[in-house]
Chain A
């Protein structure tokens, strides 16, 4: 009887976790706006190329986000004029976290192709849109 109750509770909690709550959607929308703003301030030429996850499988969402997080550390502002906007935007971006679902992903960050910062951010935006959907 107790096992039954515990199992039901676990089932209920996991089903709740699967659906994104409305405040989470607002969080992702805010993140998307931040990425779009960053695209205009980031330096695209003569910079290091970044590993860009493309179309990750469902189980690899966490890995992909971690990969994007690592990549944002290497981004640079285009010029001094946009430096403050860039710094503020990067701070917001780095505060974004996603919980580890514990699923095993076969692809690692380094397995993804390297692309320019603007394409990197476009792919990041695409990933967030996928999450919002």
Chain B
């Protein structure tokens, strides 16, 4: 029994080797289906670069419909890469199953896919009619319409940027209105909006495409703005410093050369000692001589008589002795 086993093993290996080869070389990465605005659906399983076999798709709704082949294939250079479904072929909230048959050289490989819930694969169309309204006190109000019929099932995202910003700012919005709080009238703003089915109607991460943008603000074109900026740059960075330096230089030169100006700015502190040079040096401290007192006035102050010194002393009063005398008796 070992002999047939030895023959069987390589055959098995060959067959087992071939089918993954068929699968690996030509297998689609998985079937991806997207419902566009609930109007039509496309299920794709690859692109021309990765597929080489002949593919056919079969679909059914669990416990509902029989297995049906795709009626409208999407072709890319002769190879079926996807299937297009009309609105009548789409049933949401029913488990959707898909089976893709790959055939190459007479051999067929079945590639099943997982169960899909179509309500979780809806991609709404991008919002339209974006309009901006100027409300009171520097506020802007952005409104839009959506081609998707059920507005209560949508949530939106707004992204905007001014001409002075470097990156986009994104905000999530539940309704159809976005209020932009503080707007700068000198900036130029651009707004985009996109939509997604909200969690009340499905479980999806498929955002729509960004809408056509809407702009607002003073569009001083970039060329003018750049020129104006250059103009200001020259004034602020070159002209003003140079002029200030020149002015400073002129003032310094003036100060140094013109003593009239120097004296006004830096007045001399009066030094009275010089006024008295004559008194101390010439007249040797003789004030009367320096002051110019006449000689006969000086003579008149000198006395022309002599006077003896008279010594005067004071006697103490009499009553002071008596108490002393009385005390000494006792």
Using a CB–CB cutoff of 8 Å, the interface residues on chain A facing chain B are 22, 25, 28-29, 32, 54-55, 126, 129-130, 132-133
**B95 touching A54, Cβ below 8 Å:** yes
**B153 touching A126, Cβ below 8 Å:** no
**B94 touching A133, Cβ below 8 Å:** no
**A55 touching B201, Cβ below 8 Å:** no
**B201 touching A129, Cβ below 8 Å:** yes
The answer to whether B168 has its CB under 8 Å from any CB of chain A is no
B62, B150, B200 pick with most chain A CB within 10 angstroms: B200
By beta carbon, the residue of chain A nearest B61 is A55
Residues of A within 8 A of B93 (CB): 55, 126, 129-130, 133
Residues of A within 8 A of B150 (CB): 133
Known contacts A25-B152, A130-B119; A55 and B202 CB within 8 A of each other: no
Residues of A within 8 A of B64 (CB): 55
- Docked complex: B171-214 residues within 8 A CB-CB of A: 199-202
Q: How far is the CA of A55 from the CA of B94 in the complex (A)?
A: 5
**B201 touching A133, Cβ below 8 Å:** yes
Give the contact-size bracket for chain B: 10 to 19
B64 to chain A, nearest CB (A): 8
Residues of B within 8 A of A25 (CB): 152
B153 to chain A, nearest CB (A): 6
Interface residue SS majority, chain B:
loop
Q: 8 closest pairs, A vs B, by CB?
A: A130-B93, A55-B94, A29-B200, A133-B201, A132-B200, A129-B201, A132-B201, A25-B152
21 CB-based A-B contacts, threshold 8 Å: A25-B152, A29-B200, A32-B200, A54-B95, A55-B62, A55-B63, A55-B64, A126-B93, A126-B117, A129-B93, A129-B201, A129-B202, A130-B93, A130-B119, A132-B200, A132-B201, A133-B92, A133-B93, A133-B119, A133-B150, A133-B202
- Docked complex: B50-107 residues within 8 A CB-CB of A: 62-64, 92-95
Q: How far is the CA of A54 from the CA of B93 in the complex (A)?
A: 9
Q: How far is the CA of A133 from the CA of B202 in the complex (A)?
A: 9
A43 to chain B, nearest CB (A): 23
**A132 touching B152, Cβ below 8 Å:** yes
Q: How far is the CA of A132 from the CA of B154 in the complex (A)?
A: 12
Contact of B153 among A32, A54, A55, A132 (CB under 8 A): A132
Residues of A within 8 A of B63 (CB): 55
B104 to chain A, nearest CB (A): 36
A25, A54, A55 pick with most chain B CB within 10 angstroms: A55
By beta carbon, the residue of chain B nearest A32 is B200
Residues of B within 8 A of A129 (CB): 93, 119, 200-202
A125 to chain B, nearest CB (A): 9
Residues of B within 8 A of A55 (CB): 62-64, 93-95
By beta carbon, the residue of chain A nearest B203 is A129
A75 to chain B, nearest CB (A): 22
By beta carbon, the residue of chain B nearest A55 is B94
- The proximity string for B residues 131-172 relative to A, scoring 1 for CB distances below 8 Å and 0 otherwise, is 000000000000000000010110000000000000000000
A119 to chain B, nearest CB (A): 13
A33 to chain B, nearest CB (A): 9
Q: How far is the CA of A130 from the CA of B94 in the complex (A)?
A: 10
B117 to chain A, nearest CB (A): 7
